Amino acid sequence: MRVLVTGGAGFIGSNLVDVLVRDFEVGVVDDLSTGKAEHVNPKVWFKEMDILDDGFARALGEFGPDAVVHLAAQPSVAASLLDPDRDWEVNAEGTRRVAEAARDAGAVRVYSASSAAVYGEPVELPLPESAQKDPLSPYGRSKLASEELLASELASSAVDFASLRFSNVYGPRQDWRGEGGVVAVFCAALVAGRVPTIFGSGKQTRDFVFVGDVVAAIGAALVSDSRLRDDPDGGPAYNISTGQQTSVEALAKVLRSFSGFAEPYNYGPTREGDIEHSALDPRKARSDFGWDARVSLENGLEQTYRWFLGSE
């Protein structure tokens, strides 16, 4: 199988590519705006390019993928608040262009990254894929639109497709300065000897899923015998998550045990666009393509902290 990964030099993408190259021919398209050249696996076909560039469809056709995993995105809620038009262009229009180019190039599978942000403030936890969608930020709205555009481009074709709704992904190679996941931000501060800041009460919860588990989910989807587009329960969308809630204060406590950091953490105001509690129900992914998150929070956090320690 030939698999093309957009955003393959980024946090999730580079971790995914390093696993895929063991079994498949892999191509990567990344403009290196947030991805890093040193994370491009030397075994891949690589094109430095924005998915919005006029030549993108031609480049994708040049590689000739059987499957496309679309991870390139504008990943920041904060950035979406500052520039919602750019957020929409990259996340919504970018996904439409990737789907169109993949279909025209003869790909038979297209799986695209979505987000827990499509749900908004939950009315039940953990959230199933069929839960109401009421995004609170431009980022959440662009991700929900990207799911709809993926389906509109591919529904009349034979291409299998699905949107993979990631919960709060963390792990090695996450850039604390870019998408700013709380685990990466805390790890970077602790390694540098700075006092981390908890925004809000610290009682807010998230569903933290390790990047290795996300990579395993994408791999399982790629080799699945199921047509993921045909699932009637919540449509062609799958939560990639643990289903467990962890408070930010509990997260900070675990990281403190690895770092030996004894000072109290700082507290700041709640950030715009943040929800209070989040957890996604992963049972549909388990049922349809046999995936479960397997890395414990303690194990994943230790691996992540050790990576930040070694990267300084």
Residues known to be catalytic: 139
Residues 6+ apart with CB under 8 A from 3: 20, 24, 25, 26, 27, 65, 66, 67, 68, 69, 222
* Residue 128, both tokens: 């199933």
Instruction: Say which amino acid occupies 197.
Output: T
- Distance of alpha carbon 144 from alpha carbon 309, whole angstroms: 36
Contact 140, 125 (CB under 8 A): no
In angstroms, what CA-CA distances link 191 with 7, 186, 198? 27, 9, 16
CA–CA separation, 189 vs 4, rounded Å? 34
C-alpha 227/C-alpha 245 separation (Å) is: 30
Say if residue 268 is exposed, middle or buried (CB neighbours under 10 Å; 0-12, 13-18, 19+).
Answer: exposed
Q: Which helix (H) or strand (E) holds 289?
A: helix 283-289
What angle do helix axes 248-259 and 182-192 make, rounded to 10 degrees? Answer: 30
Q: Which of 75, 283, 284, 285 is nearest to 170 (CA)?
A: 75
Phi, psi of 263 (to 5 degrees): -75, 155
* Cα-based distances in Å from 212 to 18, 105, 208, 279: 11, 29, 12, 18
User: And the tokens for 263?
Assistant: 């000072």
Q: From CA 204, how far away is CA 217, in angstroms rounded?
A: 26
